């Protein structure tokens, strides 16, 4: 057996033909998962500071943690593999709207970002788009891999945000939902680190087929 044979990429049979997974594909998945891990850690640390810290909260740290969370999420949305290109683009647009709103709120108000958003629930109509994009990732992962934690998160995140928006949740209820969100987000990110990389790449023949269909329509 030659060295060339040993190093040849594995050929997969997809729905619309054969395909191979390149090193670039694998790097993209690693970046996607790293973004999720950084976002999950930032979110968990920030949530822990809010829920368990008996000392006065340093809201500057919370703002920087949120910035890390948002940037990492944006990287994941750039590298995630989603068959529906329109859905992928919408998630990226939602992230951009939420990020711009967060920057605007942080720069235009004297209150720390977290305090302002909590005290002004209507601000979720702007910054909340970031969490719509995150929920889109949860839904995609729940649909593709049937993960329990993402199935729960798909409902937990809208419940918490909409509940706060309309003022129907007690403080204790919001704290419980926030804790569940932070824990399951970490579980999700950790489980992704041991998942086989080809699973996150998906069937590349489908991407090729859809691209050809779009080209023919144009």
Residue 195, pLDDT above cutoff 90: yes
Residues 6+ apart with CB under 8 A from 163: 169, 173, 174, 177
Q: Which two tokens stand for residue 89?
A: 């683009």
Residue 33, pLDDT above cutoff 90: yes
Buried b (16+ CB within 10 A) or exposed e, 30-41: eebbbbbbbbbb
Residue 49, pLDDT above cutoff 50: yes
Residue 18, pLDDT above cutoff 90: no
First-to-last alpha carbon distance for the chain, in angstroms, is 46
pLDDT at 204: 72
For residues 116-134, give the mean pLDDT. 97
**Range in 37-41, 43-47, 199-203 with the lowest mean pLDDT:** 199-203
pLDDT at 13: 67
Q: Which two tokens stand for residue 24?
A: 């670039």
pLDDT at 3: 41
pLDDT, mean over the chain: 89
**pTM, whole model, 2 decimals?**
0.90
* Percent above pLDDT 90 for the chain: 71
Sign of the torsion formed by the C-alpha atoms of 124, 130, 135 and 138: negative
Please report, for the chain, the start and end positions of each structural domain, with discontinuous segments joined by +: 23-217
pLDDT at 193: 94
pLDDT at 206: 72
């Amino acid at each position: 057996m030659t060295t060339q044979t040993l190093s040849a990429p594995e050929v997969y049979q997809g729905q619309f033909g054969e395909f191979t997974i390149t090193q670039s594909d694998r790097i993209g998945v690693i970046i996607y998962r790293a973004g999720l891990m950084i976002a999950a850690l930032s979110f968990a640390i920030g949530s822990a500071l809010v829920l368990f810290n008996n000392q006065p909260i340093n809201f500057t740290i919370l703002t920087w943690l949120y910035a890390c969370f948002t940037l990492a999420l944006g990287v994941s949305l750039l590298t995630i593999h989603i068959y529906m290109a329109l859905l992928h683009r919408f998630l990226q647009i939602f992230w951009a709207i939420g990020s711009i709103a967060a920057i605007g709120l942080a720069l235009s108000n004297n209150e720390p970002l977290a305090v302002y958003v909590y005290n002004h629930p209507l601000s979720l109509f702007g910054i909340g788009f970031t969490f719509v994009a995150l929920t889109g990732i949860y839904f995609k992962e729940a649909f593709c891999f049937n993960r329990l934690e993402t199935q729960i998160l798909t409902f937990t995140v809208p419940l918490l945000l909409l509940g706060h928006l309309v003022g129907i949740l007690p403080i204790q209820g919001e704290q419980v939902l926030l804790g569940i969100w932070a824990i399951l987000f970490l579980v999700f990110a950790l489980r992704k680190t041991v998942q086989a990389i080809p699973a996150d790449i998906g069937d590349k023949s489908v991407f090729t087929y859809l691209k050809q269909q779009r080209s023919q329509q144009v």
